[in-house]
Structure 1
Amino acid sequence: MVNRSDVHYFGAGPAPLPTTVLENAAQVLLNYQDKGIGLCEISHRSPEANAILAEAKGALVTLLDIPDDYDVLFLQSGGTGEFSATVYNLVAIWVEKKRAKIAEEVGDDEAEVLKRLRKVVDEELKLDYLVTGSWSLKASQEASRLVGAKHVNVAVDARTANNGKFGSIPAETEWTLTPRTSGGGPALVYFCDNETVDGVEFPSFPQSLEGDDAPLVCADMSSNFISRKVDVRKYAVIFGGAQKNIGSTGIAIAIIRKSLLPPASKPASPDLLRALNLSVGPIVLDYPTIAKNNSLYNTLPIFDVWVAGQVMSSLVNSYGAKRIGGQEDISNEKARLIYDTLDKYSSVYRVVPAKSARSRMNICFRVHGGDADKEKAFLAGAEKLGLLGLKGHRSVGGIRASNYNAVSVEGAQKLVTYLEDYAKTA
Structure 2
Amino acid sequence: MSNSTRVINLSAGPCALPESVLHEACQGLLNFNGTGVGIAEISHRAPEFIAYLTEVQGLIRTQLDVPQTHSILFAQGGGALQFSVVVLNLLARHRLLYPELSDSERVLDYVLTGRFSELAFDEAKRMGGGRVNTVVDARLHSATGKFDNIPSHAAYNFSPDPALVFYCENETVNGVQFSDGVDAADPTSFPFHLLPKDTPLVADYSSSFMSRPIPHLADHAVIFASAQKNIGPAGVTVLIVRNDCLPDVDAAAALGAQPVPYTLAYKTLADHGCLYNTPPVFAIYVTGLVLRRQRTLGGPAHFAAVNRRKAAKLYAAVEEGARRGVLRPRVKEGRGRSVMNVVFDFYEREVEGRFVAGAAARGIKGIMGHPTVPGTRLSIYNAVTEEQVDAVVAYMWDFFGQLQVRSLM
Fold equivalence (TM over 0.5): yes
Is contact 1:93–1:268 with CA below 8 Å preserved after alignment? no
> Which residue of 115, 130, 147 corresponds with 1:166?
147
Query: 4+ runs of 1 displaced by more than 4 Å?
Result: 1-6, 208-212, 265-268
- 1:361-391 deviations in Å (ceiling 9; x for gaps): 0110112x2x111101100000000011011
Q: Which residue of 1 aligns with 2:170?
A: 194
- 1:311-359 deviations in Å (ceiling 9; x for gaps): 011111111xxx3111110011100110011112312231102322110
Segment drifting more, 225-234 vs 200-209: 200-209
Deviation at 1:36, TM superposition (A): 2.8
> Which residue of 326, 330, 353 corresponds with 1:376?
353
- Separation of aligned partners in 2, 1:6 and 1:251: 25
Segment drifting more, 78-87 vs 161-170: 161-170
Secondary structure in 1 matching 2:37: coil
Give me the CA root mean square deviation. 1.8
Secondary structure in 2 matching 1:256: strand
- Separation of aligned partners in 2, 1:79 and 1:421: 38
Is contact 1:210–1:234 with CA below 8 Å preserved after alignment? no
> Which residue of 393, 409, 413 corresponds with 2:370?
393
Q: Note the residue ranges of structure 1 that are not aligned, 5 or more in a row.
A: 100-116, 180-184
Deviation at 1:208, TM superposition (A): 4.5
Secondary structure in 2 matching 1:306: helix
Q: Which residue of 2 aligns with 1:138?
A: 119
- Separation of aligned partners in 1, 2:162 and 2:73: 24
Seen in structure 2, the aligned counterparts of structure 1 residues 156 and 331 have a Cα distance that, compared at 3 Å, is same
Deviation at 1:176, TM superposition (A): 2.0
Deviation at 1:128, TM superposition (A): 0.2
Deviation at 1:266, TM superposition (A): 4.9
> Which residue of 182, 203, 211 corresponds with 1:227?
211
As a proportion of its length, which structure holds more helix? 1
Seen in structure 2, the aligned counterparts of structure 1 residues 270 and 401 have a Cα distance that, compared at 3 Å, is same
- Separation of aligned partners in 1, 2:134 and 2:272: 35
- 1:227-256 deviations in Å (ceiling 9; x for gaps): 111131121110010011110011000001
Corresponding position: 1:366 with 2:345: yes
Deviation at 1:6, TM superposition (A): 4.7
- Separation of aligned partners in 2, 1:303 and 1:6: 22
Q: Which residue of 2 aligns with 1:258?
A: 243
Counting only pairs closer than 5 Å after superposition, residues 21-420 of structure 1 correspond to structure 2 as 21-99=21-99, 117=100, 120-147=101-128, 151-162=131-142, 163-179=144-160, 185-204=161-180, 205-209=189-193, 213-230=197-214, 231-261=216-246, 266-267=248-249, 269-272=251-254, 275=256, 278-319=257-298, 323-346=299-322, 347-355=325-333, 356-367=335-346, 369=347, 371-420=348-397
Secondary structure in 2 matching 1:345: helix
Is contact 1:209–1:215 with CA below 8 Å preserved after alignment? no
Is contact 2:11–2:365 with CA below 8 Å preserved after alignment? yes
Segment drifting more, 161-170 vs 13-22: 161-170
Question: Which structure has the bigger radius of gyration?
Answer: 1
Q: How many residues align?
A: 390
Report the TM-score, using the length of structure 1 for normalisation: 0.88
- Separation of aligned partners in 1, 2:63 and 2:194: 23
Seen in structure 2, the aligned counterparts of structure 1 residues 170 and 268 have a Cα distance that, compared at 3 Å, is farther
Secondary structure in 2 matching 1:243: helix
Secondary structure in 2 matching 1:330: helix
Q: Note the residue ranges of structure 2 that are not aligned, 5 or more in a row.
A: 181-188, 404-409
- 1:384-411 deviations in Å (ceiling 9; x for gaps): 0001101111111110000100001111
Deviation at 1:160, TM superposition (A): 2.2
- Separation of aligned partners in 2, 1:295 and 1:240: 16
Is contact 2:172–2:207 with CA below 8 Å preserved after alignment? yes
Q: Which residue of 2 aligns with 1:422?
A: 399
Secondary structure in 1 matching 2:342: strand
Seen in structure 2, the aligned counterparts of structure 1 residues 386 and 259 have a Cα distance that, compared at 3 Å, is same
Secondary structure in 1 matching 2:133: strand
Deviation at 1:209, TM superposition (A): 5.0
